[in-house]
Structure 1
Amino acid sequence: MQKTILITGCSSGIGLACASELRRRGWRVLAACRKPQDVARMMELGYEGIELDLDTPDSVSRAAERVLQLTNHRLDALFNNAGYGVYGPLQTLSREQLHQQFSTNLFGTHQLTMLLLPALQVHGAGRIVMTSSVMGFIATPGRGAYAASKYALEAWSDTLRMEQRSYGIRVSIIEPGPIHTQFTENVNQTERDKPIRNPGIAARFTLGPEAVVNKVCHALESSHPRLRYPVTLVAHIMSVLRRLLPARALDKILQG
């Protein structure tokens, strides 16, 4: 029987790459995008497009209702991939900017997931995959808002995993390092004259969005999905250093 997945942030990058591969593997893909023109484009490509703006509660409610209608309240998997970054020193951030960062990366994700949980629970074997980041377990100057939202997302995901275990739902977290997508171009910089950029050396370790695809497929299809999937050498190294180094030593590395 064909399995159905909803992927958020599906217009480009990781979401689009995963949608393409999962459809090739026989999945029915519901593709959620924020912009109406991207929804239309996904439908032209043969996906079932759904408009979703995680920062707008009414949009989340409408999207969830549409998913439930299309799936007859039976959903096999949810890939919470959508998100964006606000970059800049903390002292340049307004309360509104910080709230919007959390609204998209956490609050909207929470709302959508809770609305779809009954449709995932009915199988006794649902899967939920979260796109976090290397910034979900380390923080660097200028990326405090984004890192805080991803730290929170990881804690939320860990709790969700434990709470949903009795329903047979497996929750996995993808932790990409530098990935070449439109994310960087779409970052909201609080200081446009002093934008936060990745160090030049990061380019050597930057991979394409296809690097995430195999991890997502394993999380969705393996009988033993991992709890966390670091992606790129940077993510693997930082995961090890965070466990081994004293906090002050790690600070010196991350401050550059």
Structure 2
Amino acid sequence: MTRTLLITGCSSGIGHHAAHTMAARGWQVFAACRREEDCARLRAEGLPAPLIDYERPTTIERGLAEVLDATGSRIDALFNNGAYAIPGLVEDLPVDGLRAIFEANFFGWHDLTRRVIPVMRQQGAGRIVQNSSVLGFAAAPWRGAYNATKFALEGLTDTLRIEMRGTGIDVVLIEPGPIRTRFRANAAKQFERWIDWEASARCDDYERLMGRLHDDRAARFELSAAAVTKVLIPALESPRPRPRYRVTVPTKIAATMKRLLPTRTMDRIVSNS
């Protein structure tokens, strides 16, 4: 029987590459996007593409219903993927901005995940893969909003993994570092929308560091989206997947440093990163 997979955030980058790769491996892939024009483009590329926008709960309900109608109420795997960042200092982050990013990066993921669990439980098996980040376990300055959503995601996912023991539903985290996508370009738009940096008490810091907000130093360590798909394959297909898959050198270094170094030492290192 063909295995079914729902992937979110497929308009470009990680989701787009993963959708086409997993379809080529024989999965029936539903490549969700948050804009109808992107869904239409994916359909033209040969992939069913339901409209799912994490910030609009009605699209989550309708999008999943579309998948279940097409598969006879079966879903073997979910890859939660779509997310964005709001660069800026925590003290300058408006509450409304934080609410918005949590809807997109956390609450929407939780909503969709809760909806697929009863289907997977009825089947007796399923796989839930969450695309987190190095910033889900290692804090970095100027990235507080994204850090907050990914730290929350990791805590919720770890708990869910424990609670799903014995149900046949495996829960997996992928923790990428810098990946070559439109992520920074999208983050720049969110920065312009939410951060009034010229009114900040630290506007001089923004002026000095503005270039880094739009062109992260970590870019030299970037890998292509294929690096994430490479670990997504065992996360979805291994009979006994790992709880975590870490991608990119910075992620693996950060995990080692986090384990070995005192907190204040880590703070000094990331303050200069």
Q: How high is the TM-score relative to the length of structure 2?
A: 0.90
Task: Give distance in 1, aligned partners of 2:4 and 2:23.
Answer: 10
Contact 2:4–2:27 (Cα < 8 Å) also in 1: yes
The answer for the alignment partner of 2:260 in structure 1 is 244
The answer for the alignment partner of 1:127 in structure 2 is 127
Total equivalences in the alignment: 255
Task: Give distance in 2, aligned partners of 1:205 and 1:124.
Answer: 40
Pair 1:62–1:26, CA change in 2 (3 A): same
Task: Give distance in 1, aligned partners of 2:246 and 2:22.
Answer: 20
Deviation of the 1:204 alpha carbon = 2.3
Task: Give distance in 2, aligned partners of 1:192 and 1:57.
Answer: 31
Contact 2:92–2:197 (Cα < 8 Å) also in 1: no
Task: Give distance in 2, aligned partners of 1:42 and 1:60.
Answer: 18
The answer for the alignment partner of 2:68 in structure 1 is 68
The answer for the alignment partner of 2:201 in structure 1 is none
Pair 1:34–1:107, CA change in 2 (3 A): same
- The answer as to 2:267 corresponding to 1:231 is no
Pair 1:50–1:192, CA change in 2 (3 A): farther
Between 114-123 and 204-213, report the one with greater CA deviation.
114-123
Contact 2:185–2:214 (Cα < 8 Å) also in 1: no
Bigger Rg, which one? 2
Post-superposition CA distance 1:134-161 (Å, at most 9, x none): 0000111110010010000011111111
Contact 1:88–1:191 (Cα < 8 Å) also in 2: no
SS in 1 for 2:166: helix
Deviation of the 1:192 alpha carbon = 6.7
Deviation of the 1:54 alpha carbon = 0.3
Post-superposition CA distance 1:122-141 (Å, at most 9, x none): 33221110000000001111
CA-atom RMSD in angstroms: 1.3
Amino acid aligned to 1:122? Q
Contact 1:87–1:143 (Cα < 8 Å) also in 2: yes
Map of 1:76-225 to 2, 5 A cutoff? 76-187=76-187, 188-189=190-191, 190-191=195-196, 194=206, 195=210, 196-197=213-214, 199-200=216-217, 202-225=218-241
Q: How high is the TM-score relative to the length of structure 1?
A: 0.96
Task: Give distance in 2, aligned partners of 1:45 and 1:232.
Answer: 29
The answer for the alignment partner of 1:50 in structure 2 is 50
SS in 2 for 1:30: strand
Pair 1:22–1:206, CA change in 2 (3 A): same
Is there any run of 5+ residues in structure 1 with no aligned partner, and where? none
Contact 1:74–1:122 (Cα < 8 Å) also in 2: no
Post-superposition CA distance 1:83-113 (Å, at most 9, x none): 1111111111111100111111110011111
Amino acid aligned to 2:266? L
Deviation of the 1:62 alpha carbon = 1.5
Contact 1:179–1:207 (Cα < 8 Å) also in 2: yes
Is there any run of 5+ residues in structure 2 with no aligned partner, and where? 199-205
Amino acid aligned to 2:154? E
Deviation of the 1:197 alpha carbon = 4.1
Task: Give distance in 2, aligned partners of 1:66 and 1:136.
Answer: 31
Amino acid aligned to 1:242? K
Deviation of the 1:64 alpha carbon = 2.0
